Amino acid sequence: MKEVSVTVFGTNGPKPTLSCCEASSAGACCDPAKTMQEQGEELKEKLVKNFGPAIQYTYVDVLSNEMKNYPEIAPIMVQVNLPLIVINGQPRFQGGISNDRISEAVSELGK
């Protein structure tokens, strides 16, 4: 399998009050009991279990200085609902984390 990069952009601050389920392109609801980073870690565990070392996973808190490393992503942050999932440098999903949909996308790109 080819290497696939998955980057989750989220926040560990207060949870948004808008329903991410309604605005989600990921086909998933945000779990209100978990932070975006915790949901991202669950995604990472599933991806590594299914695809092994081919997965390069990164979580980026959009309120951190680490955003300076992603100048191509910063301009679109005002247009999306967090979390934003970027696969191989391309924004793919927003507004929720669907482990199944993201796994399907990774599988296709890894062929």
Q: What CATH number has the domain spanning 4-109?
A: 3.40.30.30
- Residue 87 makes CB contacts below 8 A (sequence gap 6+) with 4, 5, 6, 7, 102, 105, 106, 109
Token reading at 11: 């926040």
Residue 5: CB atoms within 10 A of its CB come to: 16
Residues of the chain with pLDDT under 70: 13-32
Residues 15, 81: contact at Cβ < 8 Å? no
Predicted local distance difference test score (pLDDT) of residue 102: 97
The C-alpha atoms of residue 14 and residue 7 are separated, in whole angstroms, by: 21
Predicted local distance difference test score (pLDDT) of residue 2: 92
Predicted local distance difference test score (pLDDT) of residue 110: 84
Residue 58: CB atoms within 10 A of its CB come to: 15
Rounded to two decimals, the pTM is 0.83
The domain segmentation of the chain, as residue ranges, is 4-109
Predicted local distance difference test score (pLDDT) of residue 111: 82
